Amino acid sequence: MNQEKLFRNDLLNSSTFLLSLILVVRSITVFTLDCMPPMESQYIFMAEKLFGSDEKIYISFAPGYSAFLFLISKLTGSYKIASYLIFIFSSTGFCFVIYKWIKEKYDSNPAIIALLLLFFFPNSAITYTGYSHCIVAALFFLTLACYRYWKLWRNETTINHITFIFSALAAMALRPEMVLFFIFLMFGFYFFRLTNLFSCIRSKLTWRLLLFPALLFSFMLIHKSFVQSRNINSNTTVFSDAFYSYRSFISVYCFKQGEIFTDSLSIALSVPHFGTPEQNDNSILKAMLHNPFEVLKNVTYNFTQALKLIPHPLVVPFFLLPFFGLGLFYKEKKVFTDFNLFVLSAGIIPILILFLFIVTVKYLSAITIPVIIISAFGISKLENESLKRRIVSFLVFSFFIISAVYFISFLQAGARG
């Protein structure tokens, strides 16, 4: 008997069957709900105004997701169907990328375990979690970009360059703050690449090395120019409208006071610390330089909030954390291996960016990447096959219950907004 098999049932060891079942589960979820998340309507409104007319509007969000909705709606004839399809295929695609990554790094056993965990993993299995399907789509492209970057690091080919760049640009279009994360990856790649060039005479620069920085900065320029040309306010940043970015920066004060967020309240609470938005020209950098100590206090607050929210049922249910630890410390292997450091950075660095703004459940989805990969590896190393089966069954059942609770909550809330 092959002791590496998780279940005797061949179907549960078939990636094709499991991925198909995940696709079905996602489809049933979103079409049964038949309600778009609250913020989805705002993205759709932007799509209609930005791409359906020439008038200028107030661009309250980054327009990338609105463009995504607009393009797919042209194929489906419906924004609602476009929104549903984005959720279904982004969520299923995320599962597929995680499976491929684990299988290439380890073997099929932890990869199958990951698919079983991802069946009802709340972070990507229900629409309520992100208040917009943009969150799930961004998670898919972020994961795909990280996976292709890992491939690129191991084998610098044209296809690896192009697939990494495409997925990175898509992730940044959906969540422009990801620019900071991919600049970090770019510097990491070129630092070691140039170090290798200096140490090896036979190495040489190729045209591929110019692709990512050229397209990255082109994207930033084009994105800012588009927002500036269609936004009522001429003051823009590489992320979106400058005032929207600034109010995201000061929104932390509403959360500190336990109040519902409003522009007026966040401005009133922030003025004693940073001055008015007009005094800072709606510049986050100017505000930070005005009172660095206050920025440090806000970052500390957001850090504590992240620690509280990471074990939230919609982020990483706490009962998965022991297996994450097992994956890190399996038989005293080095915790800080190159792979572990990279996978952890893929989940943690996007969250660190939030520390300058506000930490909420819906923006913590990136932490799913290292948790699923390392936890699946940890569970696969349990020597008792019966115990392994019971643990996976318990986790899948628990994730199903959590998803069902939030599924019902979503229906009762009536998807308001």
The separation between CA 20 and the C-alpha centre of its own chain, rounded to angstroms, equals 23
For residue 50, what are the CA distances in angstroms to 65, 245, 363? Answer: 12, 19, 25
State the Cα–Cα distance between residues 313 and 127, nearest whole angstrom. Answer: 14
Taking only the tens place, the pLDDT of each residue in 90-110 is: 999 999 999 999 999 998 889
Q: Which of 280, 273, 290 is nearest to 242 (CA)?
A: 280
Taking only the tens place, the pLDDT of each residue in 155-201 is: 878 888 889 989 999 998 898 888 888 888 888 777 776 666 555 55
- 140 Cβ contact list (under 8 Å, min separation 6): 90, 91, 93, 94, 97
Taking only the tens place, the pLDDT of each residue in 306-337 is: 888 888 888 888 899 899 988 888 766 666 67
Q: Which helix (H) or strand (E) holds 307?
A: helix 292-309
Distance in Å from the first CA to the final CA of the chain = 55
Q: What is the pLDDT of residue 334?
A: 67
Q: Please give the structure tokens belonging to residue 258.
A: 């336990």
85-90 long-range contacts, Cβ below 8 Å, gap at least 24? 86/133, 86/136, 86/137, 87/26, 87/30, 87/127, 87/133, 87/136, 87/137, 88/23, 88/26, 88/27, 88/30, 90/133, 90/136, 90/137, 90/139, 90/140, 90/141
Q: Please give the structure tokens belonging to residue 81.
A: 């169907």
pLDDT at 235 over 60: yes
Q: What is the pLDDT of residue 224?
A: 82
Instruction: Give the global pTM.
Output: 0.88
- 290 Cβ contact list (under 8 Å, min separation 6): 274, 275, 280
Q: Is the dihedral of CA 163, 336, 306, 126 positive or negative?
A: positive
Q: Is the dihedral of CA 296, 297, 300, 301 positive or negative?
A: negative
State the Cα–Cα distance between residues 131 and 129, nearest whole angstrom. Answer: 6
State the Cα–Cα distance between residues 21 and 19, nearest whole angstrom. Answer: 5
pLDDT band with cut points at 50, 70 and 90 for residue 204: low
Q: Is the dihedral of CA 324, 24, 168, 67 positive or negative?
A: negative
Q: Which helix (H) or strand (E) holds 50?
A: helix 40-52
State the Cα–Cα distance between residues 153 and 375, nearest whole angstrom. Answer: 23
The Cα diameter of the chain in Å comes to 72
Taking only the tens place, the pLDDT of each residue in 370-401 is: 999 999 999 998 888 888 889 999 999 999 99
